[in-house]
Structure 1
Amino acid sequence: MFTGIIESVGTLRKIERRGGDIRLTVASGKLDLSDVKLGDSIATNGVCLTVVECLNDGYVADISAETVELTGFAHYQVGTKVNLEKAVTPMTRLGGHMVSGHVDGVAQVDERQFRGKAIEFWLSAPKELSRYIAHKGSITIDGVSLTVNEVAEHQFRLTIVPHTAAETTLVDLKMGDSVNLEVDLIARHLERLMQFSGDNAASSGGEGVTMDLLARSGFLK
């Protein structure tokens, strides 16, 4: 589990393609590796990767073919910058939101402009993921926890404050770029719960979890 608060920007030092899989060597920048050991998890541009080799200034990790297909790693090259975050501990401050590191798909940057000192982006999400993106909800872009400021069908708007821009790779995004997208974990589980609750309610005659029940309970406006 992660928070979406980036600890360092790393660099892809080596990419080995092994059939459909990939083995990465990542230079970790300022990331503190003193407590990292084999088998630990590090979110690399939002993808939860398992450390298979520890280096003095980085780590080696494997990416499965399925993960490659769902993320931007299929197009990354040696020298690509990546956002890094170590897995949370019981003492970690939850400064962002609950992030699993399981990327749902790829979004595309449609617009980029400055608003004051902040950078404002409009992105397009895959249609099948749009229903999980809500105004003022949380979303993860290349591992960065962000707040959705506006939603219009399959597009959504993000505002990147100067500190976040300076500490992540988002400052380099331009129109047409693709980013790893992880939707809100709670939204996905809630949808699944409602599916099963509806089936159970129909068989037992009960109400179950419905949109009306959520609205009456204050979860929806």
Structure 2
Amino acid sequence: MILRRWAVLSILLFVCLTFPFTITNVVVKGLETVPLTSVLERIDYSGDLTEKDVEEIARTIFDMGYFASVKPELIPGKEGYTLLITVKENPKVKDWKITIDGEGLLDVKDLEKLVTIEKGKALNVKRVQESLENIKKAYEEAGYIFIEVTGNMRKDTFEIIVEEYALWDVFINGEAAGIDISQIVKEANLNLLKDFYSASPLVRFFTMNKKKFYPRVSDINRFIQTLRLNAFFSE
């Protein structure tokens, strides 16, 4: 699952001007869930402007994150120009949810507090990115590095998918002759998922916690240190 970015900025001026001009009014068409005030408060059209300034206004609106397209058009008037901005909002988010593919290493209720996606408004790609990064950071701070966080819009619900990866096995490339990797894994107390599934169901149920097979940074560092000590490796 990957997050699709719908946004495509389209800057097309129907009146090509090579000299400064004045904008006396701004009209925004296409708003459905985003308030007009939140758009207008971000732009400044005072004074003499150029075509580049209009493009910058369009880009500023686009960079809000709510829109799939932003198209400015200059309409001449008696005292100046009206800037007509036609926008197309991203799909409306009715709800969002977090789906964890793994053992649930972190409490999903804690992860939900990190989501900044707004319900009832157009999907904001900046808030999506912020939410994904917040969740990824929470895992990293807990020591987990084998984590992938992505998102996708499913009808009117945005789904955040957290994939937690366990460690199945360890392979060493390069000069590994004579090194007993299984012994090093055992010395480093590194849990491999293949050992979990090779054990009997009763042993797994009563003696094994599957979450321990999802390594933290400290587990990987301990394994590397043990490997260096046994194989006389250096930096």
Q: TM-score range by the shorter chain?
A: under 0.3
TM norm structure 2: 0.23
Structure with greater helix share of residues? 2
Larger radius of gyration: 2
User: More relative contact order in 1 or in 2 (CA 8 Å, sep 6+)?
Assistant: 1
Structure with greater strand share of residues? 1
